[in-house]
Structure 1
Amino acid sequence: MSVIILVMAEYMVDDSPLWYRGSREHFDVAGAANLGLSTSLRHDLQAWNGVFEHAWDAVLDDRDESRPVPSPSVSPEVLAVHGVEAFTLASRVQLELGDDTHVWCGAGGGIDTVTESGTAVVLPSRRPGTEVEFLHDGKRDVKSARAAGAREGTAKAVVHWRSLTERVGTPFGNAETRALGLRTAGRLQSDVGPPTQVVFYAGASAQYRFDEFD
C-alpha cells in the first residue's frame, strides 16, 4: 500500500510526530509503531518532538490564530537545529518505510500555508541545475540555490541528488534518493536558517495525492 507521510512536530503525539497526507483513506496521525518503525527511530522522534513541546508556548499568538509562539527562554539556535533535525529524521523514516512510502518534510512545521504567507523554499527534482522554487507571501519565484541562500557545497549536493533521482525516474526516484533529497533539504535549511522554511515533497514541487499518478 502506498502512503505519504509528513514529519511534523505537534503537542501530545509521543513518539509519532507523523501524519498521513495525500490520501482519502488515510489521514490524521500515523502511528510509528503501526508503521513498523524501529525502536531507536521512535525514541529519536519522541525526543525531537519533546524539544518542540518545550520550545513553544501553548498560548497562541493573537496575530496568528493557528501558530504557537516560541518561548522567550529558548534560543534561536535551538529552534534552527530543530528544523534541520526534522529532515534527518524524515530521511531515516523514508529509508525504514521503503519505496512505497513518500516522506514529506517542512523543517518540522506545517506545510499547508507555505504558498500563502511567510517565506519558503521548495526543493523539487525536476528543476535544472541548482534551481529551487522560492515563495514569499503567496508569490512564487525561481532562484538558484545560491541566490536562495545555499552554500556552494549545498548547491552541489542539489545537483548530485537530482542526477541520482533522474537515473531512477523523476520526480520521485526511490526510497534511497528521496532520503538523500531530505538530507539535502536539511543542508539547505541549515544554510538559509529560520524564518525561511525549506519544504520537501518527495521531489515534487507541490502537494499531491498518490491517485494522481495511477
Structure 2
Amino acid sequence: MVGMIVLVAAEYLADSPLWFRGGSEVGRSDVDDPPALGVSAALRNDLRAWNDRFEQLSSHVFDDRRDPAVAPDPTPPELWDAHRVEAFELAARVQLELGDDVHVWCGPGGGMDAVAEWGPVVVVPSGHRGTDVEVLHHGVREVRSARAAGAREGTAKAIVHWRALTERVGLPFGDAATRALGLRTAGRVQADLGSRAGVVCWSGWTGPYRYDDHD
C-alpha cells in the first residue's frame, strides 16, 4: 500500500521543494514541514540549496529590463542540465530516508508540473522488457530502446540491472531501495539526454497515479 506520494520539484520562494501528491491521511501537511516528515537536517539543507540554485538560474525571468520575446535565456545550458540531474539524486535520498511506505516522484528540475514546457519526455518504467523506455512527444507515446532514446550503453545496462532488482522485490514498485535506484537510473538517463529531453520517474510506473490505485 502507498502511504504517501511526494514530488521533488523546484519552485520559486519555496521553503522546501517537496510537494504532497496524495496519501492515506487527508490534509496531511508534513511535506510542508520536512523535519516532521522525517527528512534529515543534512538532506533538508541540500534540498534548500538546490531550490535556491533554481531561483538563481531563473532570476532573469524577473528582470524587467529584459524582453523575453527577443532575449534568450542567459543561463548556460550546462548549468540547467546539472540542476535537472541533481533532482534525481536528491529524490533518491528522500526516498531512502522516508522508506517503503512513501513513493517519491521526480522530473526534470521543475518536476512533472513543468513537463509540458519540454519537447520530448522520457519515462523510465520498471515493468518494460530489456532497456525499453517510453517517449512522449506531441501527445504521442512510443516505446524505444534506451539507446534509441539517446541514453548511453552504460545507462542502458543500468536500467536492466534496476529492473531485475525491482522484479526480485516485486513489480512495479519494489521497495524504497529499488525505487531510489530507479530515481538514480533516471538521473543517468537525464544526464545522457541533457537539454534534448526531460526525464520523469513515477516510482517505476508509466504515469501519475493515486495513492490508492495500487492497494
TM-score scaled by length of structure 2:
0.88
Letter of the structure 1 residue corresponding to residue 169 of structure 2: V
2:40 to 34, 38, 41: 38
Counting only pairs closer than 5 Å after superposition, residues 49-198 of structure 1 correspond to structure 2 as: 49-56=51-58, 57-59=60-62, 71-72=73-74, 74-112=75-113, 114=115, 118-198=119-199
For 1:141, what is the secondary structure of its paired residue?
strand
The alpha-carbon deviation at position 75 of structure 1 amounts to 1.1
Residues 4-50 of structure 1, C-alpha deviations (whole Å, 9 max, x = no match): 00000001113x10101134824785332221211100010011111
Q: Which has the higher contact order (CA 8 A, sep 6+)?
A: 2
> 8 Å contact 1:178–1:203 — kept in the other structure?
yes
RMSD of equivalent CA atoms: 2.4
User: C-alpha separation between the residues in 1 aligned to 2:36 and 2:129?
Assistant: 38
Residues 127-183 of structure 1, C-alpha deviations (whole Å, 9 max, x = no match): 100000001121111100000000000000000000000000000000000000000
User: C-alpha separation between the residues in 1 aligned to 2:141 and 2:68?
Assistant: 27
The alpha-carbon deviation at position 70 of structure 1 amounts to 7.8
**What runs of 5+ residues in structure 2 fail to find an aligned partner?**
none
For 1:172, what is the secondary structure of its paired residue?
coil
TM-score scaled by length of structure 1:
0.89
Residues 175-203 of structure 1, C-alpha deviations (whole Å, 9 max, x = no match): 00000000000000000111411000000
**What runs of 5+ residues in structure 1 fail to find an aligned partner?**
64-68
User: Which of structures 1 and 2 has the bigger CA Rg?
Assistant: 2
The alpha-carbon deviation at position 94 of structure 1 amounts to 0.2
> 8 Å contact 1:123–1:200 — kept in the other structure?
yes
The alpha-carbon deviation at position 213 of structure 1 amounts to 1.5
1:66 alignment partner in structure 2 = none
> 8 Å contact 1:104–1:201 — kept in the other structure?
yes
User: C-alpha separation between the residues in 2 aligned to 1:117 and 1:84?
Assistant: 15
User: C-alpha separation between the residues in 2 aligned to 1:187 and 1:123?
Assistant: 11
| CA distance 1:119–1:26, shift in 2 (3 Å) | farther
Q: Tell me how many residue pairs correspond in the alignment.
A: 207
> 8 Å contact 1:48–1:82 — kept in the other structure?
yes
2:49 alignment partner in structure 1 = 47
> 8 Å contact 1:117–1:138 — kept in the other structure?
no
Identity percentage over the alignment? 58
Letter of the structure 1 residue corresponding to residue 160 of structure 2: V
Letter of the structure 2 residue corresponding to residue 52 of structure 1: F
The alpha-carbon deviation at position 115 of structure 1 amounts to 6.9
Which range moves more in the overlay, 183-192 or 25-34?
25-34
Q: Give the structure with the higher percent helix.
A: 2
The alpha-carbon deviation at position 114 of structure 1 amounts to 3.8
